[in-house]
Structure formats: C-alpha cells, structure tokens
C-alpha cells in the first residue's frame, strides 16, 4: 500500500546553484547527497518533513553526470523541471507486482538500490498519464546513508 509522497524529483543543470535556490528561497537544507553511477546522476535530497509512517518527504534534485543518462536525455529534451514523483511503500516488491497485474508497465524486473539505501522501481509514464512514477521502500533508519 502506498503511504506517502516520498519525494518529487527535479532535474537541473547545476546542482549547487539549484540547492542554493531552494535554501535561500524556502529555507530547505540538504539532508543527503550522493552520486549514483548506475543512473548517471549527482543528487541532493532536501528534507521537507517527517511523516506519520516513520518516513519523510523530500525534494530530490538531480544533475546528470553524463549526457547519455536518463536524466541527461530528459534535460536535453525538456529543460529543467519536475522529472518524477515517488510514492513511499513498505513493500516495493509486492506493490510493484500488484500494479503490474493491473496492466501498468514496471520498468525494472527487480527493484534496484536508490537514494540513501532505499529499494526502488519506476512505472512507465505512458501508463501513468504522462508522469514518470517511482515506488520507494526506505532503508531502515539505522541503514540510511546520510
């Protein structure tokens, strides 16, 4: 069962400049940064709030590390802006299978490792009214990388 909006992914050309905009404009601070070589992105997670299920909601700012990454291609076509929305779930495996059974294309056969040690998969935007949708099971608090 999907429990919350885990994060909204925003693609940007300059991560440092975009982080500074969100810090100066809204007061959001960076909670976590990392480079995901597999996905070809450098990212910053800005925590917005805690949630009742023990998780949190974030803005995920994404800067491509290479032009041929999914985010790099998306930026070249669309420019900066909202790239995807991610919903939190306690069971990314079960929920992705249940959604697949309803005819929605799940992009990964098996969930992959995402930000802060989470497990993730994506749903095809053509099956989700034009919205790239991510499902996220957060790592246990003790296992989260800050």
Q: What would the pLDDT profile of 30-48 be if each residue is shown by its tens digit? A: 999 999 999 999 999 999 9
Residues 6+ apart with CB under 8 A from 101: none
Q: What is the pLDDT of residue 143?
A: 60
Query: Is 72 or 49 the better-scoring residue by pLDDT?
Result: 72
pLDDT at 146 over 90: no
Point out the residues that are catalytic. 7, 43, 60, 84, 134
Q: What is the pLDDT of residue 31?
A: 95
Task: Read off the pLDDT of each residue in 14-21 and give the average, rounded to a whole number.
Answer: 98
Q: Read off the pTM.
A: 0.91
Q: Token pair for residue 27?
A: 């007061």
pLDDT at 50 over 80: yes
How far is it, in rounded angstroms, from Cα 4 to Cα 90?
Answer: 10
pLDDT in tens, 83-121: 999 999 999 999 999 999 999 999 999 999 999 999 999
How far is it, in rounded angstroms, from Cα 67 to Cα 93?
Answer: 30
Percent of the chain scored above 70 by pLDDT? 97
Which residue, among 87, 81, 82, 85, has the nearest Cα to 118 in the 3D structure? 87
Enclosing H/E stretch for 43: strand 41-50
Enclosing H/E stretch for 122: strand 119-123
Question: Per-residue confidence at 11, pLDDT binned at 50, 70, 90?
Answer: very high
How far is it, in rounded angstroms, from Cα 127 to Cα 106?
Answer: 9
């Amino acid at each position: 069962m999907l429990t919350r909006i885990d994060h909204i992914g925003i693609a940007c050309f300059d991560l440092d400049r975009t982080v500074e905009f969100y810090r100066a404009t809204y007061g959001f601070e960076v909670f976590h940064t990392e480079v995901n070589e597999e996905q070809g992105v450098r990212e910053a997670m800005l925590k917005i709030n805690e949630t009742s299920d023990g998780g949190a909601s974030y803005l995920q700012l994404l800067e491509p590390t290479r032009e041929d990454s999914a985010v790099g291609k998306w930026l070249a076509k669309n420019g900066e802006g909202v790239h995807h929305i991610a919903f939190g779930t306690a069971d990314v495996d079960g929920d992705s299978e249940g959604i697949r059974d309803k005819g929605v294309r799940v992009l990964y056969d098996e969930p992959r490792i995402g930000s802060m040690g989470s497990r993730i998969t994506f749903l095809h935007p053509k099956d989700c009214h034009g919205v790239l949708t991510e499902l996220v099971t957060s790592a246990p608090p003790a296992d989260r990388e800050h």
